Structure 1
Amino acid sequence: MTMITNPILPGFHADPSICRVGDDFYIATSTFDWFPGVRIHHSRDLKHWRHIASPLDRVSLLDLKGNMNSGGVWAPCLSYSDGLFYLIYTDVKQWHGAFKDTHNYLVTAPSIEGPWSEPIYLNSNGFDPSLFHDDDGRKWLVNMLWDFRKDRHPFAGIVLQEYSPLEQKLTGPVKMIYEGTEIKLTEGPHLYKRNGYYYLFVAEGGTQYEHAETVARSKAIDGPYETDPHYPFITAWKKPHLPIQKSGHGSLVDTPEGEWYFVHLGGRPVNGKYCTLGRETFIQKAVWTDDDWIRLADGSQSPSLEVEGPTLPDHPFEAEPVIDDFDDDSLFPGWWNSLRIPMTPDWVSLTERPGHLRLKGMESMTSLHSQALIARRQTDFQCTIETALDYQPEHFQHMGGMTVFYDTTDFLYLHITAHPVKGRVLQIMQMTDGEYDEVLLSPQTITPSGTVKLKGIIDIDHVQFYYMDQDTPDWVAIGPALDVTHMSDDSAPDVRFTGTFVGMATQDLSGTRKPCDFDYFKYEKK
């Protein structure tokens, strides 16, 4: 018997939507304010996964410039029918307060690797849209309905409307089909059909520690839906001993042999509370009862770190390298993301200085518009990050270096800049819940020119930075060990949804786009 160890997608991989095409499994996950939008992973055995596509890779598909933190792509839905992959996604422009500006789109592709079509606009009446392909050929969109009115619950329930592929639009009436349970905050709907029943899977309880997944069923697609009396299907709420918390919001898949699995989001807290890696993707085995309800295979309602794998041969992929040396004509696929804007030649180049990644400075680390920042997910609680940069700042408005980054209100930034007396120096910028600070009371002087190496060792809840220049024969610690738990959903006064990234950035606040050259970037699990 093969066992699957959770999480199957470590680090920030939230809101998984899984589908099977023949012997191939695909999972699409949310990307929020990071570009390109939506990450798709591929597996043949549900155990080993590799990144295979990021469909929303051009501005015509996804324009995130100016989107607020934790806006952007929420809860995509990936499905396959009629020889096409269908990807539904929400672009959330604003989500704080009474109103949510949530625009829902559909793109298609003949292959999982694209090319993906231009988007078809669907609606803006709520978020978490999902497309169901019925066996009679009809297609149906379900999404949660957002109700801003003061005397109503904002999570009004799940609505259904038919989608016409011929007309490329939603048609017919919008019908409320499910208002959820007393857990409330009903969202994330997915429809399935089995043995004459339509099954509606929904997330409830919000996406924090109260999170859960509930199942309801009906003989007709438009209801009425009966809630499973054994609900919720899965939750970690009021089970603080479980290593996986925040369990819910997922989707269902069967194997060619007829086994069933449920993939869902969850978080692994450190220090009892802080999920610094973000909401990750986990998998649980499921079974059907004699009376046509679905349950976790172990008979519980709790997520497990290890689950029985399917009766499929192991299909591992090659291990990812630990370093991108920037010697090729493209960045290592699947690693790199930019914040809100695509990586275009006007600010990213691998050719202007061969063997180096050149970033051209733009706006500040708190900008919601144009940042010269590229980063990859932190996928391990203990890891080492390292880079080397050649950068000659002329004044304090020039900065370039290494960052541990959650969003524009929470990050750490070890960077080279210029000091009017000391010349070229290192400083550590710290942003905690929007409060700016400089960690080094006196910036660290470094050699006036030449390459400087930077390193960070992340050990669960702290990071220690180091540097090495031409005058230092070995790594030198710089600054104290810094807390990283503020880079989590759980540290903020308001809910948020992403996870920690590590990477490189540069700024030119004078507007001249001064370049900063990076020789490599290394990420290594400890």
Structure 2
Amino acid sequence: MRLVNPVVRGFAPDPSVIRVGDWYYLATSSFEWFPSIPLYRSRNLADWEPAGAVDTAAPGRSLLGVPDSAGIWAPALSHSDGVFWVVYSIVRSLGTRHFDLETYLCTAADVGGPWSEPVRLPGHGFDPSLLHHEGRHYLLNLQNDSRVGGRRFDGIVLTELDVPLTGGVPDVDRVRAVGPTRLLIQRDELVEGPKITVKDSWFYLLLAQGGTGVEHGVLVARSRSLTGPYDVDDVPLLTSRDDPAVPLQKAGHGELVQAPSGEWYLTHLAARPLQTPAGPRNTLGRETAVQRVVWTDGWPRLAQGGWHPETEVEVPDVAAARLDPAGVAGRDPGLDKLDQRRLDQRKLDQPGGLDVAPAWPWSTLREPAGDWVEHVPGRPDTLRLRGRLSAESLWQQSLLAQRLTEHRAEVEVTVDAEPTTFTQSAGLMLWYGTASYYQLHVTWAEPEGEPQAGQQWQGGRGRRVLVLVHGHPDGARVLDTVDLDGGPVRLRAQIDGATASLWSAGGGGPWAQVGPDVDFSELSDDFGPSLRFTGAFVGISVVDLVDGAFTADFSDWALRHRSAMPGG
């Protein structure tokens, strides 16, 4: 059978893959978003479904205050001693020489959890991974020289970990580093994301090369000894940097996995750019793709030849995973519980499918959904959100959002809100980060023609309006203000590649566009002066800047994606 890349579409970067029995498992970066460290599973490498998340990854279940695109970077998934392991870094400063990061380890008996509380490991830099070899455990890390004048990407280091067993199970609470930290490889070019695969008595070190933009790639080095020296392959295993016409750009950050049939595959990140007058922009963020690998003269090579990723790849013809809450004999432990959770979550993709305490595919910023979201009594398809801080806050935002997975999409929702002050608002959000968003919110404004001077306190004055705000690195601005009658308002956004339009309809009236068409490509990794690593979301949000008590009701959510072509 043939798979179509990307196999996990829309903001699924830094994929780490393993196979346990007949199942493949995949972890991806989550940055400032919850659920933290999304997990997927597949039987055939082509059809992937959510497998939960490492919901304990952030200590205290909080990433409050971390910058956009910081948070949890590049988790590495592994399996040893009957246990799933995941190591990752939490980056708390972005664009600085220090990164101010911590490196953590969580474990679970099955991928569906429960996951252990995070245990801190030595963190020389981000992008950690684990090698379990001959009963011993090794931590790989990027080395960051944070001194003034130092190199932030200063090679790859290896540290052995002592992990005691208690009742035959790894006791990660007692893990400790043993022996010296060793430098494995150092290069003038930027290398990160180390992963080691052992094959035929060789240690193959896969490295993410050239940064996270269009220069990205996968470089391979090998050694007969774990601690080196490592010889570097003359050619990249994977990159698209030499040809902007390759459909999958930014290809890099790979990991090898072997199929039960003996064939080898590479998972990697890639992006599907939109061509805009400002250059290529990737509104969907970086996604997960799979390539088939063959071994030539002891080196891994793409099966199709060269180093460019393909959008269609041949994989073993194995039945896709099936959701079966009744359970199947011989399945992995814990998957019955996990599949029931997925069956509940599948309703979220359907019109009217809002759910309380939402999990996949709903996401929240910097903390899990809490007491600010609840079902409306007697209305099971309606959510009530309580407003908190603004769209530009790094702290408690009341935002529920879903990833975009295609360049063309339409989202609709009905909002019922009666704000009485400009500090209260509720509605639809097109989101990338605190400096890049389009917010279509019901709020309050002064009587028409009067200046912004706090008149909301003057007893019944003012009007209910719909305001379209454009969040931008240079500062937010209002694109349109529309007077509203009473009652619920239907909101819509239509996304067509690099352009989006926003619409409203109230009281059973016709749809009317709010403001001009907007540049949706700004909600991308490639816009603005700062580092960006995630992707565009659409969602619902509520703001109350005074006392966090204002609420709004949302119903009839619908998100529809339209794929133009395979891999496109």
Give how far 1:314 is off. Answer: 4.4
Report Cα offsets for 1:428-477 as digits up to 9, x if no partner.
Answer: 0101224210001xx211112x21110111000111111111151x2222
Find the partner of 1:323 among 346, 350, 361. 350
CA contact (8 A) 1:277 1:381 kept: yes
Report Cα offsets for 1:264-285 as digits up to 9, x if no partner.
Answer: 0111110151001001111111
Find the partner of 1:480 among 502, 506, 516. 516
| Structure 2 letter corresponding to 1:103 | E
| Structure 2 letter corresponding to 1:193 | V
Match of 1:159 in 2: 157
CA contact (8 A) 1:433 1:486 kept: no
Decide whether aligned partners of structure 1 residues 33 and 329 sit closer, same or farther in structure 2, where only a CA change above 3 A counts. Answer: closer
Match of 2:390 in 1: 364
Match of 2:484 in 1: 446
Secondary structure (helix, strand or coil) at the match of 1:485 reads helix
Q: Within 5 A, what are the aligned runs for 1:427-506?
A: 427-440=467-480, 443-448=481-486, 450-470=487-507, 472=509, 474-506=510-542
CA contact (8 A) 1:57 1:342 kept: no
Instruction: Output the aligned Cα RMSD.
Output: 1.7
Q: Distance in 2 between matches of 1:307 and 1:491?
A: 31
Give how far 1:63 is off. Answer: 2.4
Find the partner of 2:362 among 300, 325, 336. 336
Match of 1:203 in 2: 208
Give how far 1:56 is off. Answer: 2.4
Give how far 1:72 is off. Answer: 0.3
- What stretches of structure 1 of length at least 5 have no aligned partner? none
Q: Within 5 A, what are the aligned runs for 1:191-340?
A: 191-229=196-234, 231-271=235-275, 272-289=279-296, 291-315=297-321, 322-323=349-350, 325=352, 330-331=357-358, 333-340=359-366
CA contact (8 A) 2:222 2:230 kept: yes
Q: Within 5 A, what are the aligned runs for 1:411-422?
A: 411-421=437-447
Match of 2:379 in 1: 354
Q: Distance in 2 between matches of 1:360 and 1:241?
A: 46
Report Cα offsets for 1:200-239 as digits up to 9, x if no partner.
Answer: 001010000111110001111111111112x211111121
Q: Distance in 2 between matches of 1:394 and 1:151?
A: 54
Report Cα offsets for 1:64-86 as digits up to 9, x if no partner.
Answer: 00011111000000111111000
CA contact (8 A) 1:147 1:154 kept: yes
Give how far 1:58 is off. Answer: 7.2
CA contact (8 A) 1:323 1:520 kept: no
- Report the count of equivalent residues: 514
Decide whether aligned partners of structure 1 residues 122 and 353 sit closer, same or farther in structure 2, where only a CA change above 3 A counts. Answer: farther
Q: Distance in 1 between matches of 2:304 and 2:13?
A: 24
| Structure 2 letter corresponding to 1:127 | F
Q: Distance in 2 between matches of 1:171 and 1:62?
A: 29
TM-score by length of 2: 0.88
Give how far 1:330 is off. Answer: 5.0
Q: Distance in 2 between matches of 1:27 and 1:462?
A: 32
Match of 1:169 in 2: 176
Secondary structure (helix, strand or coil) at the match of 1:362 reads coil
Q: Distance in 1 between matches of 2:58 and 2:373?
A: 16
Q: Which has the higher helix share?
A: 2
Report Cα offsets for 1:471-509 as digits up to 9, x if no partner.
Answer: 51x222211111111111111223211100110001001
1:395 partnered with 2:395: no
Match of 1:185 in 2: 190
Q: Distance in 1 between matches of 2:161 and 2:291?
A: 31
Give how far 1:9 is off. Answer: 0.7
Report Cα offsets for 1:127-184 as digits up to 9, x if no partner.
Answer: 00001110x100100010111234443211000001111131222211110113x4x1
Q: Distance in 1 between matches of 2:146 and 2:267?
A: 31
Decide whether aligned partners of structure 1 residues 471 and 47 sit closer, same or farther in structure 2, where only a CA change above 3 A counts. Answer: closer
Find the partner of 1:423 among 463, 467, 473. 463
Match of 2:145 in 1: 147
Q: Distance in 2 between matches of 1:125 and 1:63?
A: 23
Match of 1:508 in 2: 544
TM-score by length of 1: 0.94
Q: Distance in 1 between matches of 2:92 and 2:431?
A: 21
Q: Distance in 2 between matches of 1:250 and 1:59?
A: 24
Match of 1:13 in 2: 12
- What stretches of structure 2 of length at least 5 have no aligned partner? 165-173, 324-342, 448-461, 563-568
Give how far 1:96 is off. Answer: 1.5
